[in-house]
């Protein structure tokens, strides 16, 4: 078999900085999370716990189109457990549920991206 163009052997290897960029991104995310207010930080930890329970091969959060009803159910469960411990800082339970929803969707998106190895190139 004859190749017209030379293909260097090192071009076949994966990018050596691939995982280093992912570590940098995780450190950046941890830094931003450290600046969250205390009440939001507790919510974020609870959301991470719920996502950790669903972080397995074949989980519903890794479906191509996750079930919106299932996600809203998760938000409502988190709200019900955290509503008792939250101070009077939150304006209403509607705002609290919206905040939980945003945190949950962002965490699921981050986990899905990490699972599929989403990169910016």
Q: How confident is the model at residue 114 (pLDDT cuts 50, 70, 90)?
A: confident
Q: How confident is the model at residue 87 (pLDDT cuts 50, 70, 90)?
A: low
Higher pLDDT, 83 or 44: 44
User: pLDDT value at position 15?
Assistant: 67
Q: How confident is the model at residue 121 (pLDDT cuts 50, 70, 90)?
A: very low
Mean pLDDT computed over 96-109? 91
Going by C-beta distance under 8 Å and a sequence separation of 6 or more, which residues neighbour residue 55? 61, 111
Q: Is the pTM of this model over 0.75?
A: no
6-62 pLDDT tens trace:
666 666 666 667 678 778 888 998 999 999 998 889 999 999 999 999 999 889 999
């Amino acid at each position: 078999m004859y190749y017209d163009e030379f293909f260097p052997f090192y071009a076949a290897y994966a990018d050596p900085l691939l995982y280093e960029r992912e570590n940098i991104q995780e450190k950046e995310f941890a830094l931003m999370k450290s600046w969250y207010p205390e009440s939001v930080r507790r919510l974020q930890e609870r959301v991470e716990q719920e996502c950790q329970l669903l972080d397995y091969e074949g989980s519903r959060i890794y479906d191509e189109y996750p079930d919106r009803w299932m996600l809203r159910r998760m938000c409502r469960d988190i709200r019900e457990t955290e509503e008792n411990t939250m101070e009077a800082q939150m304006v209403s339970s509607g705002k609290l549920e919206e905040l939980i929803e945003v945190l949950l969707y962002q965490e699921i998106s981050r986990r899905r991206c990490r699972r599929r190895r989403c990169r910016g190139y």
